[in-house]
A and B are shown apart, each in its own frame.
Chain A
């Protein structure tokens, strides 16, 4: 990895490490822990807090408590014969994952590991400040171009929220509803959405994400930056603007032979490659986001292949790793698979096959519907998003939004169509 100057670890943590904490950990705990500590510089604030809490909790245990906490994990490692494996204790590798996954004790091991994390989490709960960190907003957009069926579009959400009609007439002439939501707003109304988030206590780019299957939304956010080169208060990820990074990653991944050792070698190369030159300015200048993307692309889940998967997986990973207060995610359109070559290659289809790309609008719409639900489900796994969070998924072509919100949210009971202005004002007020 292209390391910057190494930041110091917090003093208490360093003390615990100096006393040999890592060596006491079971073998299968070591790759994750060591990797997190090595990557300290490029962890999000939430991740740092999380690993800090875990390790300080472990350091606080006496020998007997420590042994008891890890008893099950240690017993399972013994049964699995981990010591006899070619298992990296330095970092998480594909070989490690493969060895664990094919063990007959794998599921038991996963449960035992989860118990340790749960114990640490429970301990942290007791010590944590009970402040909720303010209101949160997940705003998703299925753009106008995606054909959606009113009767079915929200079926998968199983009635967890309710549809609200929108009046989007004002937006369509010059910009999409999503762009209008992002760019409009005056000081009297509390300002634009991104400005509102940036004024919150403890605001940081990690707290505010704009994820775009194309580039228009991120372009719109970038125009709001003082110099026009970037909005430093938000993390801006546009699948289109990341094309060079993605293509270079794909090229490397495609050199991989069908072999675990080779896969680890390719991944290792990609972990160490300096990707700065492949990134757009809003990413190149932020090491933590560069590394987020590197790890996102290495973790698969279609982020290198389909723009909607990129949006969904980025959002899921952002929730897991950064717990942002505001995520705006816009889905888009993918092409139909090209005849013959799509059997072999999904990425860079235009490079492989000169036939013109044809948009798959119904397919993209279905993908977006499922993945929008997945974004919400990913967030709702965490306590942080279970109380004071509004999730609003806009179906532009239907002039409708699906709203999941606490009862006090202003639009929760709305029966009349909501204008774009009112929607924006309500959202900024919610976040302010």
Chain B
């Protein structure tokens, strides 16, 4: 009796060469260096004038994404974006493979080991704080828009001495607004409203008016009880698009719409968008998990299209797309794709794609990089002073 390999990466390795060959073919003809970082760049309170949009989407395995059998799930990333990207084939999470710690490690450039449920802030300064303190950037210049329920507003600023919330980012969790609206409607016996788009919109708007932004986990400007009118307008507009478009209604869709509206109204120089539809994997639906990957793929592409269409961003923005980590391999004691607890290649090995201004020429980088390498690199692009990080600057990304 044969035993099935519990390691899907074995399959990837076998055909890695074919995949890379196909990818390189896609790159052919697109590898001439760009002449300049077009657009000049807008200098706010200081810095390089460059902008950064970081898109992080939950835990996804290589086998369901950048592998020969996974490409079907990521047509936009592999077909539309890969040929113009700087693609790091092996980006590794060497820290805690849980959401809050993974994202705070990416954002601080240091492996964080704090409370998994976001009750403790990262212990070293985030990129937001470095950017704001170092360059005097406004809070409205730095945003986190996230779907993930494991995060809290402490993701926006660290507990480090001389940094912290005064230099933190605006943090909003649009999905939490929806969760709260549903819960509120149920409590009040209005579950019938959930079948009527107009009434859903009213429920969402009334949650916005209720003003419990701390309860939603939001940290928007400095008033927990009063939402800045511009922010309110931003969220209202996104809600309207979400409810009335007739399109898909997942948490990531709402996160994308809020992010897009934030870009249109505030043009933050540093925007972090965190998708998490893929995390339905924890409940064991593989089909819905793969659906989440496809949504993340499409929304990443739409984000890139928004960057191209928005004059505040076009030509001066670097967009980075990466998963937080992989997921456990089939046959693992941790129940395979359901979880992300293993110390395995499938769980720790991911990829990273960079697009836009800082990409001198499209290429695939084989050298392994670590998630903590990104923070200092992006800080450098934004013009931040050198920061203390466990990571090393990625030399291929140039400001």
A343 adjacent to B249 (CB under 8 Å): yes
CA distance A106 to B254 in the complex (A): 36
Residue of A nearest to B151 (CB): A258
Q: Confirm or deny: B98 has a beta carbon within 8 angstroms of a beta carbon on chain A.
A: yes
Given contacts A101-B98, A102-B101, A260-B115, whether A313 and B285 have CB atoms under 8 Å apart is: no
A313 touches B116 (CB 8 A): no
Inside 8 A of A344's CB, which chain B residues have their CB? 175, 178-179, 181-183
| A370 CB–B CB distance under 8 Å | yes
Q: Is A158 at the interface (CB under 8 A from chain B)?
A: yes
Q: How far, in angstroms, from A387 to B339 measured CA to CA in the complex?
A: 29
Q: Which of B20-28, B189-197, B306-314, B366-374 contacts A (4 or more CB under 8 A)?
A: B189-197
The reply to whether A107 and B343 contact each other, CB–CB distance below 8 Å, is yes
B349 within 8 A of A: no
Complex interface: stretch among A41-49, A128-136, A238-246, A374-382: A374-382
> Hey, which chain B residues are within 8 Å of A258, CB to CB?
117-118, 149, 152
List chain B residues, Cβ under 8 A from A306: 283-285
User: A380: which B residues are within 8 A, CB to CB?
Assistant: 3-4, 331
Complex Cα distance A345/B185, Å?
13
Q: How far is the CA of A339 from the CA of B179 in the complex (A)?
A: 13
Residues of chain B contacted by A300 (CB below 8 angstroms)? 282
Measured between beta carbons, the chain A residues less than 8 angstroms from B243 are 340
A343 touching B251, Cβ below 8 Å: yes
Shortest CB-to-CB span from B48 to chain A, Å, is: 34
Tally of A interface residues using CB under 8 Å = 62
What is the chain A residue whose CB lies nearest that of B98? A101
| Inter-chain contact A102/B96, CB cutoff 8 Å | yes
Which residues on A sit within 8 Å (CB–CB) of B333?
381
Q: Which of B101, B251, B288, B339 contacts A363, CB < 8 Å?
A: B288
B341 within 8 A of A: yes
Chain A residues in 8 Å Cβ range of B288: 337, 363
Contact B286 A340 (CB under 8 A): no
Beta-carbon contact of A260 and B285 below 8 Å: no
In the complex, which residue of chain A has the Cβ closest to the Cβ of B331?
Answer: A377
A374 touches B330 (CB 8 A): yes
Give A384-410 as 1s and 0s: 1 = Cβ < 8 Å from B's Cβ atoms. 001100000000000000001110000
Stretch at the interface among A173-181, A198-206, A353-361, A416-424: A353-361
Most central of B284, B291, B336, B338 by chain A CB within 10 Å? B284
Once the chains are docked, how many angstroms separate the CA of A309 from the CA of B195?
Answer: 27
- Which of B5, B98, B186 has most A Cβ within 10 Å? B186
Asked if A102 and B113 sit within 8 Å, CB to CB, the answer is yes
Q: A340-B194, A377-B330 are in contact. Are A371 and B113 (CB under 8 A)?
A: no
What residues of B have a CB within 8 angstroms of the CB of A104 in the complex?
Answer: 111, 113
Q: Contacts A101-B98, A308-B284 given; indicate if A354 touches B192 (C-beta within 8 A).
A: yes
Question: Considering the chains assembled together, what is the distance between the CA atoms of A212 and B284 in angstroms?
Answer: 16
Give complex CA distance A302, B286 in Å: 11
Contact with A along B178-222 (1 / 0, CB 8 A): 110111001000011011000010000000000000000000000
Residue picked from B113, B250, B335, most chain A C-beta under 10 Å:
B335
Docked Cα-Cα span, A309 to B282, in Å, equals 10
Asked whether B287 lies within 8 Å of A352 as measured between CB atoms, the reply is no
As a 0/1 sequence over residues 73 to 110 of chain A, the CB contacts with chain B under 8 angstroms (1 = contact) are 00000000000000000000000001001111011001
**Contact A309 B194, CB 8 Å, known A158-B5, A258-B117, A374-B335:** no
> Which of B191, B283, B290, B337 meets A354, CB within 8 Å?
B191
The CA of A344 and the CA of B2, in the complex, are separated in Å by 43
Complex: A259 Cα to B119 Cα, angstroms: 8
Report the Cα distance A274→B339, complex, angstroms. Answer: 30
Which B residues lie within 8 Å of A364 (CB)? 287
Contacts of A405 in B (CB 8 A): 1
CB distance from A303 to the nearest CB of B (A): 8
Q: Give the distance to chain A from B142, nearest Cβ to Cβ, in Å.
A: 24
In angstroms, Cα B116 to Cα A259, docked, is 10
Which residues in A have their C-beta under 8 angstroms from that of B194? Answer: 338, 340-341, 352-355
Check if B338 sits within 8 Å of A301, measured CB to CB: yes
Nearest B residue to A110 by beta-carbon distance?
B343
Question: Nearest chain A CB to B90's CB is how many angstroms away?
Answer: 19
- Cα(A352)–Cα(B186), bound, Å: 7
User: Does A151 reach chain B (CB closer than 8 Å)?
Assistant: no
CB distance from B200 to the nearest CB of A (A): 5
Contact between chains at B330 and A367 (CB < 8 Å): no
CB-nearest residue of chain B to A312: B284
List chain B residues, Cβ under 8 A from A377.
4, 6, 330-331, 336
Q: Is B114 an interface residue (CB 8 A)?
A: yes
Chain B residue with minimal CB distance to A257? B117
Say yes or no for A373: interface residue by CB 8 A criterion: yes
Interface assignment of A139: CB less than 8 Å from any CB of chain B = no
Are A157's CB and B4's CB within 8 A? Answer: yes
A residues less than 8 Å from B115 (CB atoms): 98, 102, 260
Of all A-B residue pairs in the complex, the 7 with the closest CB atoms, nearest first, are A309-B284, A302-B284, A302-B283, A363-B287, A377-B331, A344-B182, A344-B179
Identify the B interface with A (CB < 8 A): 1-6, 96, 98, 101, 111, 113-119, 149, 152, 175, 178-179, 181-183, 186, 191-192, 194-195, 200, 243, 249-251, 254, 280, 282-288, 290-291, 330-331, 333, 335-339, 341, 343
Interface contacts beyond A110-B343, A306-B284: sample of 14 additional A-B pairs, CB < 8 Å, sorted by A: A101-B98, A258-B117, A258-B118, A258-B152, A308-B284, A340-B200, A352-B182, A363-B288, A374-B331, A376-B4, A377-B4, A378-B331, A380-B4, A381-B331
Chain A contact residues, CB within 8 Å of chain B: 98, 101-104, 106-107, 110, 156-160, 258-260, 300-302, 305-306, 308-309, 312-313, 316, 334, 337-346, 351-355, 360, 362-364, 366-367, 370-371, 373-374, 376-378, 380-381, 386-387, 404-406
29 example contacts (A-B, Cβ-Cβ < 8 A) are as follows: A98-B115, A98-B116, A98-B117, A101-B96, A103-B113, A160-B4, A258-B152, A302-B282, A302-B285, A305-B283, A309-B338, A342-B250, A343-B175, A343-B179, A344-B175, A344-B178, A344-B179, A345-B182, A346-B280, A363-B285, A363-B287, A363-B291, A364-B287, A366-B290, A370-B286, A370-B337, A374-B335, A380-B3, A387-B1
